[in-house]
Amino acid sequence: MTRLVSAIALATALAATTFAPVPAHATTREEPTRVTTSAAAPASIGEIKPPVAEKRPHSYTHHGITIEDPYDWLYDKSYPVVDDEAVLAHVKAENAYFEAKMAAQAPFTEALFTEMRARIKEDDSTVPQKDGDYFYWSEFEEGAQYRKHWRAPAVGDKADAAKAELLIDENELAKGLEYFRLGAASISQNGRYLAYSTDTNGSERYTARIKDLQTGEHLPDVLENLRGDLVWVANDTALVYGPSTEEWRTLEAKLHVIGTPVESDVTLYKEEDQSFGVGTGLTAQEDWLIIATGDNETSEVRLVPAANPTAEPILVKARQKGVEYSVDVRDGELWVWTNDNHINFRLAKAKLETPGDWQTVIAGSDDFYLTGFDLFKDFFVTEGRLNGLDQIQLRSYADPAKITPITFPEASYTAGLSNNPEYDMKKLRLAYQSMVTPSTVYDYDVATGKLATLKTQEIPSGYDPSLYVSERLTVQARDGTMVPVSIMMRKDRAEILKKAGIEGPGPLHLYAYGAYGYAVPPGFSTTRLSLVDRGFAYAIAHIRGGDDLGRRWYLQGKLFERTNTFNDFVDVGRGLIAKGYTAEGMVTASGGSAGGELMGAIINQDPKQYGAIVAHVPFVDVLGTMLNEKLPLTPGEWQEWGNPIESKEAFAYILSYSPYDQVVAKAYPPMLVTAGLNDPRVTYWEPAKWVAKLRELKTDDNLLLMKTNMGAGHGGQSGRWNSLKETAEEYAFILWQMGMADKAGGE
């Protein structure tokens, strides 16, 4: 079942991707060679010099302000095709330099990889969940990079395992490919057809196929260049999908009737505003098709009968700037989640005959941040956060004010509804974890209120949670705001550091994202143990720009308050130093995408604090990208960052913090930067230009490396072992720069 679709969630998903925390001191620096870039390695690896990009005169002027950008040529103007030989030569030269400098760390990297892999149960599977006549689950086989997806007929409340059938083998689909990712996957309501989409180069332009599960054969229908969900309608005779424009925007909801030419597909809705994105889904009872459009701050939703998708749509309420809403339908009654009269959202109802007349069911609250709701046959669930901690609340339709909370024992954790595909659910599937508690799957019995543990993440090499401690504290930012921080460390950290020859406060890795209202959950990570078991403290800064403490927390980190995000991060680090968790120069930090922008801003502001930085696909050329409306995401991002094309004030403000534009001649910490040549979210030239400018201006002797995945996109390499190897590489860099690379094994 496809659950409720939110235009807000859609816009956020299209715009923002976060990364698993990856952290990073100073060693040597070779004097740059002031010649043209070459990908050829010199005779001796020990003599390799960092590539130096050619400077070519280029400038642009807006609002009477002229910006010099001599590295603009690294932006191949034929993008998304990248075939400029000089550009490719420079990117390959950076990769060669990365490989050469990391070569001495290869044994340590391999040791870390082996250590990390040993914590992963190789032959693992998800807990089967019933949806209609079948139970569905996925599994990894031992050694496999990708999942297999299965189903088996339901016999009562159990699956008939003897009749299990393989739906998708990602390993087979990925054979011979450098990159593979499964996108949407949707079973028809009658259970016969499976529609699924795949991306084979990291560009996030998916191709969809339809498999007949009775015959095992694929239908001739092929949908190219699409994004988003695949939604079955018209009694399983048609699919609704979202094609991608040349600029990688989803502006339409199209209907494909199975067995007909794609050229005859009908457009159900077309969005004219290039800053909006369109998404689709089904209501709780699967009787209405939801067509949602929106950007980062405004929503508009239409409803169409799922049995007759070409019928005249019902407009729920016309878009109003700054008003966000999403909807569901139960027994012909419209339910609406919206921020129209309270910043932390309210829940309302309306009649389908008067869909814009919203009557409050649950009023907005200054204390409780309502993040969403789910409708079921006999009850509904509201989710949110109280004091930054996740809340799951069951409510009755007869008395919505009466709350049955699902409570958890730890002071800091992350929890929420998991896979609950049926409308008539008697037991709710929940997901729970904390920084010290591995991922746990529960069933919550609605009638009895009891939690049953179905699965706890298994760590084959062993894990004893009693060895670790997790804390949640607040640190005061420079403007007086108290910023929450979640920290994990070993209880015997002092002894571990003493054995490693480290006196005084040890290293601390600090992670954050801080954009698009995404709250980084204080969850569990097996890879993180490779730092913590070596004496690191690991901290997550819940900075403004995320919505950890409510919607206002998010708004205080966007547009003309964006610099709060950077200040919070710097001040949290300084606060943790003052509290004795670490020392200046012993803080390592990482972030990806908008979190990579954060990394660029903090090293411009307070470089002495950090021992090393890892910036994944960093959004560092903020001004240049926001001025280029031809780029895929730019129009939709103006609501987040500001429109410097139209506003001189926005231009000046973005310029004041844009990491690439603020690089100056001073010392910077050691850095590892990653990029993806096919990345449509943060284009490869942003990190390439940034690293080129850093190489030109930085005055330190610290190592600066850049690695570009030539056949991948925003999320790095695909496949669980390929991805894990990249994490091992990054951790090897961090520990190396912190003088701890010879400690090949954790405690």
pLDDT band at residue 145 using 50, 70 and 90 as cut-offs = confident
Instruction: Take residue 692 and report the two structure tokens written for it.
Output: 């080129």
Residue-wise pLDDT tens digits, 220-273: 999 999 988 999 999 999 999 999 888 888 999 999 999 999 999 999 999 999
Q: Are 510 and 541 in contact (CB under 8 A)?
A: yes
CA dihedral 23, 27, 28, 32 (to 10 degrees): 30
Residue 80 preceded by cis peptide, ω within 30: yes
What is the per-residue pLDDT for 227? 86
State whether CATH 3.20.20.150 applies to domain 463-583: no
Q: Are 53 and 93 in contact (CB under 8 A)?
A: no
Q: How far is CA 308 from the centre of its chain?
A: 35
Of 194-203, 424-433, 439-448, 537-546, give the lowest mean pLDDT range: 194-203
Q: Are 436 and 469 in contact (CB under 8 A)?
A: yes
What is the per-residue pLDDT for 21? 27
- Long-range pairs for 596-600: beta carbons < 8 A, 24 or more residues apart: 596/620, 596/682, 596/687, 597/515, 597/622, 597/659, 598/512, 598/513, 598/514, 598/515, 598/565, 598/566, 598/569, 599/659, 600/659, 600/660, 600/690
pLDDT band at residue 719 using 50, 70 and 90 as cut-offs = low
Provide the annotated active-site residues.
Answer: 593, 679, 714
What is the per-residue pLDDT for 741? 85
What is the per-residue pLDDT for 717? 63
Q: Are 483 and 473 in contact (CB under 8 A)?
A: no
Task: Give 7's DSSP letter.
Answer: H
Mean local confidence (pLDDT), 438-452: 95
Instruction: Take residue 379 and report the two structure tokens written for it.
Output: 């009850």
What is the per-residue pLDDT for 712? 61
Residue-wise pLDDT tens digits, 455-512: 999 999 999 999 999 999 999 999 999 999 999 999 999 999 998 888 889 999 999 9
Handedness of CA 438, 443, 447, 450 (dihedral sign): negative
CATH superfamily of 22-120+612-621+659-740: Alpha/Beta hydrolase fold, catalytic domain (3.40.50.1820)
72 pLDDT more than 80: yes
Query: Closest by alpha carbon to 461, among 530, 538, 535, 414?
Result: 530
What is the per-residue pLDDT for 494? 92
Residues 6+ apart with CB under 8 A from 667: 607, 608, 698, 699, 700, 702
Q: What are phi and psi of 646, to 5 degrees?
A: -90, -30
Instruction: Give the C-alpha separation, 275 to 577, whole Å.
Output: 42
CATH topology identical between 22-120+612-621+659-740 and 463-583 = yes
pLDDT band at residue 746 using 50, 70 and 90 as cut-offs = very low
Instruction: Give the C-alpha separation, 327 to 350, whole Å.
Output: 10
In one letter, which amino acid is 255? L
What is the per-residue pLDDT for 713? 57
The residue assigned the tokens 């209501």 is 283
What is the per-residue pLDDT for 48? 84
pLDDT band at residue 715 using 50, 70 and 90 as cut-offs = low
609 pLDDT more than 60: yes
Q: How far is CA 279 from CA 223, 244, 269, 292, 306, in A?
A: 16, 12, 10, 5, 15
Q: What is the 3-state secondary structure (H, E, C) of 418-452?
A: CCCCCCCCCEEEEEEECCCCCCEEEEEECCCCCEE
Handedness of CA 10, 11, 14, 17 (dihedral sign): negative
Mean local confidence (pLDDT), 612-625: 96
What is the per-residue pLDDT for 509? 98
Query: Closest by alpha carbon to 267, among 295, 245, 299, 298?
Result: 245
Q: Are 589 and 511 in contact (CB under 8 A)?
A: yes
Domain ranges of the chain: 22-120+612-621+659-740, 367-458, 463-583
What is the per-residue pLDDT for 718? 63
Please give the model's pTM, rounded to 2 decimal places. 0.88
Instruction: Give the C-alpha separation, 144 to 484, whole Å.
Output: 39
18 pLDDT more than 80: no
Of 196-210, 361-375, 575-589, 645-659, give the lowest mean pLDDT range: 196-210
Residue-wise pLDDT tens digits, 292-313: 999 989 999 999 999 999 999 9
Residue-wise pLDDT tens digits, 78-125: 998 899 999 999 999 999 999 999 999 999 999 999 999 999 999 999
Mean local confidence (pLDDT), 596-624: 97
Instruction: Give the C-alpha separation, 513 to 615, whole Å.
Output: 11
Percent of the chain as helix, strand, coil, to the nearest 5: 20, 30, 45
Query: Closest by alpha carbon to 566, among 602, 524, 613, 616?
Result: 602
Three-state DSSP state, 569: helix
Element containing residue 405 per DSSP (H, E):
strand 403-406
Q: Are 221 and 210 in contact (CB under 8 A)?
A: yes
The residue assigned the tokens 């699919």 is 239
pLDDT band at residue 409 using 50, 70 and 90 as cut-offs = confident
In one letter, which amino acid is 202? G
716 pLDDT more than 80: no
Residues 6+ apart with CB under 8 A from 72: 56, 58, 624, 689
CA dihedral 618, 621, 624, 629 (to 10 degrees): 10
Q: What are phi and psi of 685, to 5 degrees?
A: -75, -20
Query: What region does 719 belong to: left with phi over 0, alpha with psi -120 to 50, or beta?
Result: left
8 pLDDT more than 70: no
Mean local confidence (pLDDT), 644-661: 97
Q: Are 466 and 544 in contact (CB under 8 A)?
A: no
Q: Are 393 and 382 in contact (CB under 8 A)?
A: yes
Q: What angle do CA 312, 314, 317 make, to 5 degrees?
A: 145
- Residues making up the chain, counted from first to last: 747
Instruction: Give the C-alpha separation, 120 to 111, whole Å.
Output: 15
What is the per-residue pLDDT for 744? 41
Mean pLDDT rounded to a whole number for the chain: 90
- For the CA atoms of the chain, what is the radius of gyration? 26
Three-state DSSP state, 395: strand
Instruction: Give the C-alpha separation, 322 to 342, whole Å.
Output: 12
- Pairing status of strand 508-511 against strand 537-541: parallel
Instruction: Give the C-alpha separation, 256 to 240, whole Å.
Output: 6
Instruction: Take residue 352 and report the two structure tokens written for it.
Output: 């389908």
